[in-house]
């Protein structure tokens, strides 16, 4: 009996020991989970830190390193579609500054099969890397879940020089000039060669965004007379969410004025399907076009802060002459005041 | 001066281009000192000195380093032409820098994140709007040392009525966002972005008076404020500083030193001129077809310059004041 008592006591104490071990193990697991989750978005780099051999990966898992001796602009975009204008613009910057010491890497989400949206139809000159392969590297700089865009500037000595969470194309241009030329160009005077009344409207190749159109590519020279609402890409968001709303409010009223067809013209920096989506969303009936190349005389594709970011309205005659040209806001006032002679476009 | 019971006098104003021939990128501030006009060009991250319509000097430039700016949103100039610049460095980090006339960095500090509203008094102390610190305004020296905080947070229900008491908890901080002006006696004037309210404090932080702007023209804007996302709300300039998008009731406040008057840019795009004791003098109504005014500035001559939302150009207002001489002749 005594033996039995001793044995049962020993069994109980062993069970207790196992219980204690189990609870300690459980506490350890919970603690590690909490610590890991707290450190999940821990940003470890700040300006002035040596980045060392920061390495990114492309879709195939191959390494893409920063380049010592060059200024490395690492750009993250949460959505390449929304940042399309920027992505296209930095391609231009790389063409201009690549030989002067600029290196660009773009990191953005990819489709599951590793391809980009076929509507992109762009062959960028810089590597475009999937965020999925580079989460660990990026989270040392910023919280990916909270960040729409980020620009890391890493200098030729591989030191982190600056981190920007909000930036426009114009800012990237100024930063390129600052680092690579030592001097920033500002468009301080109204640029010469701007279009004015009496000029011939430039020939611009256009892609017709009307679904199912039989002539997808056309030119402005074949579309006279016309009342054009031209939008450059200085602020894509402003155009798609503000100017198009204003246009819609006017559309029916303008449509009652007889005479010339209306046309919406968007810079080639706009993303086609995003324009189409917004046109459908606002139920805009006016025919819309996407410029294939440059908006000659209207958009300066280098100085992205060119004039009339709110839109330009141009009335062309049968003979392609500009009869009226004004910022969109001014047009609204002129139109409501009956100051535009639309009939002159037919002569 | 308005007589109680009488409708406030309104003068229309025509617009003309303010800086013809100059291409400026989003002006966030304008100060005249002597024969120079200093312009804070936010989108070009710099301050320009303009004389006779031409750029003669600039300081700043894009960057996060000392002496560089990134989307500067306000500035001040002291009597020695030292500049105090309030800019946005990165996520949650606002910065104040003090620079000499040549742009050389003298002092500065990282401000409380999400601070809004900026002014500098005659002692070179920086005043920032800081409702997240539980006071409306905090005063700092140029090294960032906190000197004082004043202004008890105003509950929205105190201004909009008891029926909005349930909104006090979430709306108190957003609705205590202010713009700040300092007069020649270092009194601090606060205009609230999302409440029709102006407060005046002395330099020690004592409340001198409180004025609720009760103009009928503001009623539609006040109604729209409580209908976020509505069609009415979209007619007005809106801001989102604390996660809530709201139409702005009072967009800005400027002190006119030469006339000792205050100008308020209201949410309905009129400009209210007030005396230092809070009496309404008159309204100015700029005549324009489209757009909404985002900012306004005062030249030393008393001329007002306005800038529209999403429009880089600035316009001078030519106010159609009545011809005093003609009235005397008629008499």
Q: Which of B17, B291, B293 best probes binding to A when mutated, by most A CB atoms within 10 angstroms?
A: B291
User: Per-residue pLDDT for B181 more than 90?
Assistant: yes
What's the confidence (pLDDT) of residue B196? Answer: 97
For tokens 């990128």, name the residue.
Answer: B25
CA distance A133 to A124: 19
Interface mutation target, options A162, A163, A340, chain B, most CBs of B under 10 Å: A162
* A217 or B245, which is more confident: B245
A235: number of Cβ within 10 Å: 20
Is residue B32 a part of any domain in this protein? yes
Q: Does B61 touch chain A (CB under 8 A)?
A: yes
**B67-78 average pLDDT score:** 96
The residues pairing with B304 across neighbouring beta strands, listed in sequence order, are: B298
Nearest by Cα to B284 from B11, B6, B14, B15? B11
- ipTM computed for the complex: 0.90
pLDDT category at B193 given cuts 50, 70, 90 is very high
- Closest approach of chain B CAs to the CA of A17, in angstroms? 51
Q: How far does A203 lie from chain B, in Å, by closest CA? A: 27
Residues of B with CB below 8 A from A184's CB? 61-62
* Residue B314 token pair: 């600035």
A30: left (phi over 0), alpha (psi -120 to 50) or beta: alpha
Q: What is the pLDDT of residues B118-145, one digit of tens each?
A: 999 999 999 999 999 999 999 999 999 9
Cβ–Cβ below 8 Å for B310 and A310: yes
Interface test with A, best of B289, B293, B314 (most A CBs within 10 A): B289
Here the tokens at position B37 are: 């006009």
pTM beyond cutoff 0.90: no
Contact criterion met (CB < 8 Å) for B91 and A165: yes
Identify the contact set of chain A against chain B, taking CB-CB distances under 8 A: 47, 142, 162-166, 168, 170-171, 174-175, 178, 184, 186-191, 235, 238, 242, 245-246, 305, 307, 309-310, 327-330, 332-334, 336-337
pLDDT at A276: 92
Which pLDDT score, from 0 to 100, does residue A235 have? 76
Interchain pair B43, A305: CB under 8 A? yes
CB–CB of A329 and B311 under 8 A?
yes
Side-chain half-sphere of B276: how many Cα atoms within 13 Å? 16
Structure tokens at B8: 């406030």
Instruction: Give the CA angle between residues B157, B163, B166 to the nearest 5°.
Output: 70
Q: Give the distance from residue A269's alpha carbon to the nearest chain B alpha carbon, in angstroms.
A: 19
| Angle A294-A300-A301 from CA coordinates, rounded to 5° | 60
Which pair of tokens denotes residue A77? 């975009």
| Strand, helix or coil for residue B1 | coil
Q: Which residues of chain A have pLDDT under 50?
A: 114, 118, 190-193
Residue ranges of the alpha helices (H) in A196-316?
236-238, 244-256, 272-281
Burial of A77 (0-12, 13-18, 19+ CB in 10 A): buried
The CA distance from B273 to B192, in Å, is 16
CA B263 – CA B252 distance, rounded (Å): 8
**Which tokens in the block code for residue A154?**
């890493």
Per-residue pLDDT tens over the stretch A3-53: 777 767 776 788 888 888 888 888 888 877 766 555 555 678 888 899 877
**Number of other residues whose CB lies within 10 A of the CB of residue B331:** 5
List pLDDT tens digits, range B83-97: 999 998 877 789 999
Q: Is residue B161 part of a domain?
A: yes
The verdict on B209 touching A (C-beta cutoff 8 Å) is no
Percent of chain B exceeding pLDDT 70 equals 95
How would residue B210 be classed by pLDDT, with cut points 50, 70 and 90? very high
| B2 within a domain of the structure (yes/no) | no
Using the Cβ of B34 and the Cβ atoms of chain A, whether some distance falls under 8 Å is answered with: no
Position with higher pLDDT, B312 vs B214: B214
- Token code pair at residue A43: 């940003």
* Nearest chain B Cα distance for residue A164, angstroms: 6
pLDDT at B330 over 50: no
Helix-strand-coil split of chain A, %, nearest 5: 35, 20, 45
Residue B234 included in any domain: yes
Chain B nearest-CA residue for A160: B64
Least Cα distance to A154 among A226, A70, A211 occurs for A70
Considering the domain boundaries, does residue B276 fall inside one? yes
Whether residue B64 is contained in a domain is answered as yes
Quote the pLDDT of residue B328. Answer: 40
Question: By residue range, what is the domain housing residue B108?
Answer: 10-330
Give the one of B55, B62, B289 whose C-beta lies nearest to A178's C-beta.
B62
| pLDDT given for residue A124 in this prediction | 83
Q: What is the pLDDT of residue A93?
A: 93
Among all residues of chain B, which has the CA nearest to that of A172?
B62
Give the count of domains, chain B. Answer: 1
For residues B21 and B169, which has the higher predicted lDDT (pLDDT)? B169
B5 in a domain, yes or no? no
What's the CATH number where B218 sits?
2.120.10.30
Q: Which of B90, B231, B240, B269 to mutate to test the interface with A (most CBs of A within 10 A)?
A: B90
- pLDDT of amino acid A60: 84
> If you count them, how many residues does chain B have?
331
Please tell me the predicted confidence (pLDDT) of residue B67: 97
Higher pLDDT, B157 or A27: B157
Per DSSP, the three-state class of A23 is: helix
Query: What per-residue confidence (pLDDT) applies to A327?
Result: 85
Tokens of B248: 């702005």
Instruction: Please give the Cα distance from A281 to A275 (Å, whole number).
Output: 10
**Which of B23, B39, B41 is the best residue to mutate to test the A interface, defined by the most A CB atoms within 10 Å of its own CB?**
B23
| Cβ <8 Å between A47 and B64 | yes
- pLDDT class of B258 with cuts at 50, 70, 90: confident
Closest alpha carbon to A195 in A320, A96, A82: A320
Tens of pLDDT, residues B259-298: 889 999 999 999 999 998 889 999 999 988 677 899 999 9
**pLDDT for res B147:** 96
φ and ψ at B283, to 5 degrees? -110, 150
Establish if B141 belongs to a structural domain: yes
The residue-averaged pLDDT of B325-331 equals 42
What strand order describes the sheet that includes B105-111? B74-77, B83-90, B93-99, B105-111
Q: For B58-67, what is the mean pLDDT?
A: 95
Q: Residue B302 pLDDT > 50, yes or no? A: yes
Q: Helix or strand or coil: residue A126?
A: coil
- B21 interfaces chain A, CB cutoff of 8 Å: yes
Which chain B positions have a beta carbon within 8 Å of A189's beta carbon? 21-23
Residue from A217, A219, A218 nearest A203 by CA? A219
């Amino acid at each position: 009996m005594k033996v039995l008592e001793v044995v049962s006591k020993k069994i109980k104490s062993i069970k207790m020991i196992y219980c204690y071990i189990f609870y300690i193990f459980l506490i350890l697991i919970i603690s590690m989970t909490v610590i890991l989750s707290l450190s999940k978005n821990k940003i470890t780099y700040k300006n002035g830190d040596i980045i060392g051999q920061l390495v990114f990966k492309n879709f195939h898992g191959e390494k893409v390193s920063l380049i010592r001796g060059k200024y490395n602009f690492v750009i993250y975009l949460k959505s390449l579609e929304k940042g399309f204008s920027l992505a296209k613009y930095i391609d231009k910057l790389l063409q201009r500054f690549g030989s002067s010491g600029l290196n660009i890497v773009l990191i953005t989400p990819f489709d599951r099969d590793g391809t980009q949206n076929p509507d992109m139809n762009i062959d960028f000159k810089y590597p475009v890397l999937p965020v999925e392969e580079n989460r660990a590297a990026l989270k040392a700089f910023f919280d990916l879940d909270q960040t729409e865009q980020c620009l890391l500037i890493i200098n030729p000595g591989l030191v982190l020089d600056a981190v920007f969470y909000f930036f426009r194309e114009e800012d990237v241009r100024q930063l390129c000039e600052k680092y690579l030329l030592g001097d920033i160009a500002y468009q301080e005077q109204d640029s010469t060669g701007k279009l004015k009344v009496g000029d011939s409207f430039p020939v611009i190749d256009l892609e017709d965004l009307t679904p199912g159109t039989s002539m997808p590519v056309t030119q402005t020279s074949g579309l006279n007379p016309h009342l054009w609402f031209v939008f450059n890409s200085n602020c894509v968001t402003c155009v798609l969410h503000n100017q198009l709303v204003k246009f819609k409010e006017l559309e029916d009223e303008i449509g009652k004025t007889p005479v010339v067809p209306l046309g919406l013209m968007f810079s080639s920096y706009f993303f086609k399907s995003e324009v189409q989506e917004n046109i459908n969303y606002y139920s805009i009936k006016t025919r819309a076009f996407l410029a294939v190349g440059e908006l000659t005389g209207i958009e300066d594709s280098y100085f992205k802060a060119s004039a009339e970011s709110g839109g330009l309205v141009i009335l062309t005659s049968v003979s392609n002459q500009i009869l009226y040209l004004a910022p969109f806001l001014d047009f609204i006032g002129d139109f409501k005041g009956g100051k535009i002679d639309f009939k002159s476009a037919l002569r | 001066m308005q007589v109680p019971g009488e409708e406030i006098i309104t003068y229309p104003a025509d617009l003309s281009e303010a800086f013809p021939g100059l291409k400026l990128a989003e002006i966030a501030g304008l100060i005249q000192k002597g024969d120079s006009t200093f312009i804070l060009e936010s989108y070009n991250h710099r301050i320009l000195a303009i004389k006779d319509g031409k750029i003669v000097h600039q300081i700043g430039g894009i960057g996060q380093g000392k002496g560089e700016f990134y989307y500067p949103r306000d500035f001040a100039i002291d009597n020695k032409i030292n500049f105090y610049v309030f800019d946005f460095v990165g996520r949650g980090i606002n910065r104040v820098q003090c620079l000499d006339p040549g742009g050389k960095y003298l002092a500065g500090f990282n401000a409380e994140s999400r601070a809004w509203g900026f002014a500098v008094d005659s002692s070179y102390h920086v005043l920032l709007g800081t409702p997240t610190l539980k006071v409306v305004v905090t005063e700092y020296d140029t090294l960032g040392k906190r000197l004082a905080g004043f202004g008890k947070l105003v509950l929205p229900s105190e201004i909009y009525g008891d029926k909005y008491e349930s909104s006090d908890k979430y709306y108190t901080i957003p609705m205590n966002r202010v713009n700040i002006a300092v007069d020649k006696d270092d009194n601090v004037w606060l205009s609230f972005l999302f409440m029709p309210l102006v407060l005046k404090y002395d330099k020690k932080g004592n409340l001198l008076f409180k004025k609720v702007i009760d103009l009928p023209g503001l009623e539609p804007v006040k109604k729209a404020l409580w209908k976020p996302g509505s069609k009415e709300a979209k007619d007005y300039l809106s801001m989102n500083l604390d996660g809530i998008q709201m139409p702005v009731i009072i967009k800005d406040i400027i002190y006119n030193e030469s006339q000792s008057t205050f100008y308020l840019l209201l949410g309905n795009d009129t400009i209210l001129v007030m005396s230092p004791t809070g009496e309404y003098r008159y309204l100015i109504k700029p005549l324009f077809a489209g757009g909404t005014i985002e900012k306004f500035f005062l030249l030393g001559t008393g001329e007002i310059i306005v800038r529209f939302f999403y429009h880089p150009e600035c316009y001078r207002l030519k106010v159609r004041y009545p011809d005093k001489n003609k009235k005397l002749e008629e008499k």
